[in-house]
Amino acid sequence: MIAHRSHIYGVIGEFEKPEQLIHAAEKIREAGYRYYECYTPFPVEGMPEAMGLRRNSVPLITLIGGIVGGLTGFGFQYWANVYSYPLNIAGRPLNSWPAFIPVTFELTILFASLSAVFGMLALNGLPQPHHPIFNAPRFTHASSDRFFVCIQARDKKFDLADTARFLQGLAAQHVSEVHDD
Amino acid sequence: MSAGQPPINSPEIQRLTPVLGPGHTYASVTDKISAIVLTRKTSIGWYIGFLLAFSVFGVMNIAIGYLFMKGVGIWGINIPIGWGFAIVNFVWWIGIGHAGTLISAILFLLNQKWRTSINRFAEAMTLFAVACAGIFPLIHTGRPWYAFWMFPYPSVMGIWPQFRSPLIWDVFAVSTYGTVSLLFWFVGLIPDLATLRDRATTKPKQIIYGMLALGWRGSARHWHRYQSAYLLLAGLATPLVLSVHTVVSFDFSVAIVPGWHTTIFPPYFVAGAIYSGFAMVLTIAIPLRKAYGLEDFITMRHLENMAKVMLATGLIVAYGYFFEFFMSLYSGNKFDVFLVNQRLHGPYSHFYYALILCNILIPQLLWFQKMRTNVAVLFAMSIIVNIGMWLERFVIIVISLTRDFMPSAWGRYSPTVWDYATLIGTMGMFVMLIFLFVRVLPAISIAEMRELVTETAEEHK
């Protein structure tokens, strides 16, 4: 069994409707599986709850990006106008902060947006040109009209025959193994 | 209409003119939208349209090439009218570029489902309009090879840009807007690119779409973070879109020129931007749905809603015109009063009357539902509004600059053939990019349409 396992990424099952997949995900979690993943053609409402996903850290990364952007924007203008190249124009204050607000605002938005997008991609491990799940025979439907769940071989509870039977018991169609290479 | 049907504005009719035509499934929306890119034969009309737009784009390249050879003297600008067509066109294009992000971000936050089938190409339109807009500040500098001086970089001269100047704010606002719009558009495209990768029929298409899709596999954990990022982007883009035209209006209102130095400029510039942007979305949506048979996806409800947004923002613009006038007269400032007089009776008054006709009078037809649901009327209206919005910027810039404080500083402005060539050329570039976009990328968000299938299915239960 061990030797066999090294070639297997997991077992995949297919559903026609998003509600069926949500139901299946709940059952899989209840059955004690930890390493499994659902694949859907659009973000299904209720899916994160069914899989027990915790809040993700994209918002925190975005907040940090925004704060860094705002501080950079204001700090840079302050430094440039007060220290690096002070221009005394009719005795007006060098730190003319109201005039620095537009650039500070724009850089806050810019840094926060870049952090949101690149943070999301980094947490998702993208770009990742290949993944074993693409070996699943009908997986091209995951980007159009079918809902998949894959229980991975690295799960302690995983057993090829048992897990496949378990998925079939959840009314999954086209249950098949996914190879690693 | 037969006798048994309910009146046209009843809830039944509202339900019968949905945001998605009946009978669609996940597979059918996927097929229909991806087929435009992957399997349908490119029509002869596409080639003709693309070639026409491409030739006009060529005109722009000639105009700009000649400009680089000769300098800005080939334009009609002079002293005192240093800001001619270049800035008129810049403000016009950047205004058009506001609808995309407004539809994507603000309507997303307001949970307006009808945005789904129009947001993708509206965002693309935004990007292309910003690209057209970006050309003008660059080429109007006279020595465009020094344009990078506007960015703060550690130069050997040891100086920094003037951060107290609205022109530098503009650089930051427009470049941030361009970048964030691109991110928003691309993030929305990732799942659709994965769809195209999986359905591509040839190896090159698989490779290109595959690389662009970044290996997206629709994993629920990925979607979870994706949705957070998308929502945050929408939240960030909302104040951004309002700030961009505000900053553009600062280019004028921070100056002390009569007709420019008013506090009403920021809100009324933003309203005008949304006005012209929605007009341009209609200009594109109407031929697009016709050419590709997308009437199921871009329904009458979409067109009507866009017409309503146009009507509302048009009224805000009208309010802006009125109060600009009123405040000038009420202030008693003789330069401001004189400027009003010049708008009504000066050498450029016909532009002002044309502007009122295009932006305020004709769009009042949109009060009538018959007009809002008439595709031909809407198309004509969208063109008229965009002409009107171009005239608005012309009036603001040219009338104020030709009638400054002292009669000795007065002047006249008349554009040359190169001014027109550059303006028309950017339109060619815009249309060409739209043609390329609908050919190589899904013009409607497939993933979001699938969500809509689920939601409409629930509504019909």
Distance from CA of B101 to the nearest CA of A (A): 14
> How many other CB atoms are found less than 10 A from the CB of residue B78?
15
* A51 located within any domain: no
Nearest-by-Cβ selection for B218 from A84, A112, A143: A143
Which ranges of B71-219 does DSSP label H, i.e. alpha helix?
Answer: 85-96, 98-101, 107-109, 116-139, 166-199, 203-212
| Domain parsing of chain B, residue ranges | 37-141+181-193+240-460
Distance from CA of B366 to the nearest CA of A (A): 36
Q: Which of B8, B82, B103, B114 is nearest to B413 (CA)?
A: B82
Contact status of A98 with chain B (Cβ, < 8 Å): no
Distance from CA of B257 to the nearest CA of A (A): 19
Residues of chain B contacting residue A25, judged by C-beta atoms under 8 Å apart: 220
* Residue B380, both tokens: 């004509």
Q: Which one of B20, B113, B157, B222 would you mutate to disrupt binding with A, by most A Cβ within 10 Å of its Cβ?
A: B222
* A132 located within any domain: no
The size of the A-B interface in CB pairs under 8 A is 186
Contact between A120 and B447 using a beta-carbon 8 Å cutoff: no
pLDDT tens column, B135-160: 999 999 888 888 888 888 888 888 88
CATH number (domain holding residue A154): 3.30.70
Residues of chain B contacting residue A22, judged by C-beta atoms under 8 Å apart: none
Contact B320, B275 (CB under 8 A): no
Contact between B247 and A102 using a beta-carbon 8 Å cutoff: yes
Q: Which of B314, B385, B382, B393 is nearest to B89 (CA)?
A: B393
* A164 located within any domain: yes
State which residues form the domain around A104: 58-123
DSSP track, B339-385: HHHHHHHSTTHHHHHHHHIIIIIGGGGGGSHHHHT-HHHHHHHHHHH
Q: State what percent of residues in chain B have pLDDT above 90.
A: 45
Nearest-by-Cβ selection for B173 from A106, A121, A131: A106
Q: What is the ipTM metric for this complex?
A: 0.90
> How many other CB atoms are found less than 10 A from the CB of residue B296?
17
Contact status of A132 with chain B (Cβ, < 8 Å): no
Cα-based distances in Å from B172 to A75, A77, A99, B94, B151:
15, 13, 13, 14, 8
Contact between B222 and A124 using a beta-carbon 8 Å cutoff: yes
Contact between B163 and A85 using a beta-carbon 8 Å cutoff: no
* A27 located within any domain: yes
CB proximity list for A165: less than 8 A, separation 6 or greater: none
Residues of chain B contacting residue A92, judged by C-beta atoms under 8 Å apart: none
Contact between A41 and B191 using a beta-carbon 8 Å cutoff: yes
Residues of chain A contacting residue B448, judged by C-beta atoms under 8 Å apart: 42
Contact B311, B274 (CB under 8 A): no
- Do A81 and A31 share a domain, yes or no? no
Cα-based distances in Å from B412 to B258, B288, B349, B387, B401:
16, 41, 13, 22, 9
Task: Return the H-helix or E-strand segment holding A175.
Answer: strand A173-179
Q: Which one of B149, B185, B217, B452 would you mutate to disrupt binding with A, by most A Cβ within 10 Å of its Cβ?
A: B217
* Residue B68, both tokens: 């680089």
* Residue B168, both tokens: 């530098």
* A131 located within any domain: no
- Do A96 and A151 share a domain, yes or no? no
Query: Quick one: DSSP state of residue B7?
Result: P
Q: Which of B25, B357, B233 is nearest to A41 (CA)?
A: B25
Residues 8 to 47 of A: which have CB under 8 A from any B CB? 18, 25, 37-44, 47
* Residue B17, both tokens: 């003119």
Number of separate domains in chain A: 2
Contact between B214 and A42 using a beta-carbon 8 Å cutoff: no
In sequence order, the β-bridge partners of residue A178 are A10
* A130 located within any domain: no
Average pLDDT, chain B: 87
Each residue's pLDDT, cut to its tens digit, for chain B (461 residues) gives 344 444 444 455 455 556 676 677 787 888 788 887 887 788 888 899 999 999 999 999 999 999 999 999 999 898 889 898 999 999 999 999 988 888 888 888 887 777 888 888 888 999 999 999 999 999 998 888 888 888 888 888 888 888 888 999 999 999 999 999 999 999 999 999 999 888 888 889 889 998 998 989 888 889 999 999 999 999 999 899 899 999 999 999 998 888 888 889 999 899 999 999 999 999 988 988 888 888 888 888 888 888 999 999 999 999 999 998 899 889 888 998 998 989 999 899 999 999 999 999 999 999 998 888 888 999 999 999 999 999 999 999 999 999 888 899 898 999 999 999 999 999 999 999 999 998 888 888 888 888 888 777 666 55
The confidence score (pLDDT) of residue B1 equals 37
